[in-house]
């Protein structure tokens, strides 16, 4: 029963995204990728395979994250603004189902966008003679799990603030959290023992997007596939962190006067 509700809500998000021509953005970005690849081809890609792969994973990560954030941040605020939330809540679904169904929809849109971009990038890479291996499949899997966390964080933030503010904060977290974590790691040894627990706390609450990015291994040569336990740990982290985000969002939304 619940599955049918979540499925219907998620389907609505995907259809709405298609109706709003959001995925056209993906098509345009894909066109940019192909154009850039063509330009590199013009200069001659002999010996540039590592660079081309590095560029591809960087662009993929950048574009798919932006699409995920922009799609997710406006979902709930628009439902409220357009007053379409009332007919939804008048049906026999509770508020948690609504949030969960919408989040699944946002994740699906992000995955569709990412996979479409990945397919276009693969064509460009094939053109440069890049060979595909198991590590690349793991990269795609890791990125898809990372996008779930990006969507969960953006979705929760959008329940607490305006869509613009949520999008801005999400972008800062998405592209800055790795840098902040590295700063914490570097500064930990030099920090006084009294401050060190704060470092650990900040590290624990920050979304660890960097863990899901296998781009560095994928782009360079002779790196083997990641062990299965690592993918399992990433899956567990994705479920835990996204669940926590959803719980925080639900705690806010369930008592929110509409």
State the residues that interact with another protein by CB under 8 A: 43-48, 50-51, 54, 142, 181-182, 185-186, 188-190, 196, 199-200, 203, 208, 210-214, 216-217, 219-223, 226-227, 230, 233-234, 237
Q: Which C-beta is closer to another protein: that of 92 or that of 224? A: 224
CB of 115 to another protein, least distance (A): 20
Q: What would the two tokens of residue 220 be?
A: 């360079």
CB of 39 to another protein, least distance (A): 11
Q: Which C-beta is closer to another protein: that of 7 or that of 232? A: 232
Q: Which C-beta is closer to another protein: that of 122 or that of 196? A: 196
Phi, psi of 67 (to 5 degrees): -60, -45
CB of 18 to another protein, least distance (A): 33
Q: Which C-beta is closer to another protein: that of 122 or that of 178? A: 178
CB of 208 to another protein, least distance (A): 6
Q: Which C-beta is closer to another protein: that of 127 or that of 196? A: 196
Distance CA 37, CA 230 (A): 32
Q: What b/e sequence results for 144-177 when a residue is b if at least 16 CB atoms lie within 10 Å of its CB, and e otherwise?
A: bbbbbbbbbbbbbbbbeeebeebbebbbebbeeb
CB of 186 to another protein, least distance (A): 7
């Amino acid at each position: 029963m619940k599955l049918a509700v979540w499925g219907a809500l998620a389907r609505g998000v995907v259809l709405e995204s298609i109706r709003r021509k959001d995925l056209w953005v993906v098509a345009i970005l894909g066109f940019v990728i192909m154009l850039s690849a063509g330009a590199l081809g013009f200069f001659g890609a002999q010996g540039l395979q590592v660079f081309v792969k590095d560029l591809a994973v960087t662009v993929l990560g950048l574009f798919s994250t932006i699409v995920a954030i922009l799609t997710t941040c406006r979902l709930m605020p628009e439902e409220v603004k357009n007053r379409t939330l009332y007919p939804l809540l008048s049906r026999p679904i509770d508020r948690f189902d609504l949030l969960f169904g919408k989040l699944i929809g946002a994740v699906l849109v992000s995955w569709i966008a990412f996979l479409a971009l990945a397919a276009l990038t693969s064509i460009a890479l094939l053109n440069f003679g890049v060979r595909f291996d198991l590590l690349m499949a793991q990269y795609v899997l890791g990125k898809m799990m990372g996008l779930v966390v990006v969507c969960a964080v953006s979705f929760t933030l959008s329940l607490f603030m305006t869509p613009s503010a949520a999008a801005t904060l999400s972008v800062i977290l998405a592209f800055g959290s790795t840098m902040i974590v590295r700063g914490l790691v570097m500064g930990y040894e030099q920090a006084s023992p009294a401050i060190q627990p704060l470092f650990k706390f900040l590290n624990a609450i920050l979304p660890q997007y960097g863990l899901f990015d296998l781009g560095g291994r994928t782009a360079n040569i002779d790196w083997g596939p990641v062990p299965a336990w690592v993918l399992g740990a990433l899956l567990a982290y994705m479920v835990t962190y996204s669940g926590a985000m959803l719980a925080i969002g639900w705690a806010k939304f369930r008592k929110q006067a509409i």
